[in-house]
């Protein structure tokens, strides 16, 4: 999944294909599918229904329902967190953004990022800035692997 950052994949709201662009929820979703894991249809519908300015609190409820959560205290990465886990990050006071951990120490993430002025957007790998607040940390369960 790190290769998407190196390939210059662009940010596109509700984009589900690296060829045309991905957003922060569909970047990890694409990675899960790439591993042959099928998300439950109810979860797929939840992800499909989010808007350009999602309600992060609702998103957190959905994540808590479907994924294993590791508690975050004082903006510190939980000790159980490992590469491949998802960080739900605050944008202002709305926990509406997802990033994937690719390295614990130093903490490096890959995310489908959009600049505040919305003029630049891409899948990017970089250190998680200490000023960005972590709302939650989740592990994606193995749901169902397709036999191919």
Distance CA 20, CA 12 (A): 7
Q: pLDDT tens string for the chain (148 positions)?
A: 788 888 989 999 889 999 999 999 999 999 998 888 889 999 999 988 888 788 999 999 999 999 999 999 999 999 999 999 999 999 999 999 999 999 999 999 999 998 888 889 999 999 999 889 999 999 998 876 664 4
Q: What is the residue whose two structure tokens read 């739900």?
A: 88
Q: The CATH number of the domain where 87 resides is what?
A: 3.90.1720.10
Closest CA to 145 of 72, 37, 1: 37
135 Cβ contact partners less than 8 Å away, ≥ 6 residues apart: 56, 60, 72, 88, 89, 90, 95
Say if pTM beats, i.e. exceeds, 0.85.
yes
CA-nearest of 24, 37, 46 to 114 is 24
Domain that holds residue 40: 3-145
Model pLDDT, residue 126: 95
Q: What is the pLDDT of residue 58?
A: 94
Tell me whether strands 21-22 and 94-103 are parallel, antiparallel or unpaired: unpaired
- Pair of tokens at residue 63: 């994540």
Domain count, the chain: 1
CB 88 within 8 A of CB 65: no
């Amino acid at each position: 999944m790190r290769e998407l950052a190196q390939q210059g994949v662009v940010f596109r709201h509700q984009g589900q294909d690296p060829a045309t662009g991905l957003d922060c929820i569909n970047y990890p979703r694409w990675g899960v599918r790439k591993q042959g894991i099928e998300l439950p249809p109810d979860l797929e519908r939840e992800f499909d229904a989010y808007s350009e300015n999602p309600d992060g609190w609702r998103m957190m409820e959905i994540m808590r329902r479907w994924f294993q959560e590791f508690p975050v205290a004082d903006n510190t990465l939980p000790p159980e967190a490992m590469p491949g886990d998802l960080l739900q990050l605050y944008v202002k006071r709305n926990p509406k953004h997802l990033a994937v951990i690719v390295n614990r120490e130093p903490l490096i993430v890959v995310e489908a990022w959009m600049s505040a002025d919305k003029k630049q957007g891409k899948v990017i790998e970089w250190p998680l800035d200490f000023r960005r607040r972590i709302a939650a940390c989740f592990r994606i369960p193995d749901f169902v692997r397709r036999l191919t």
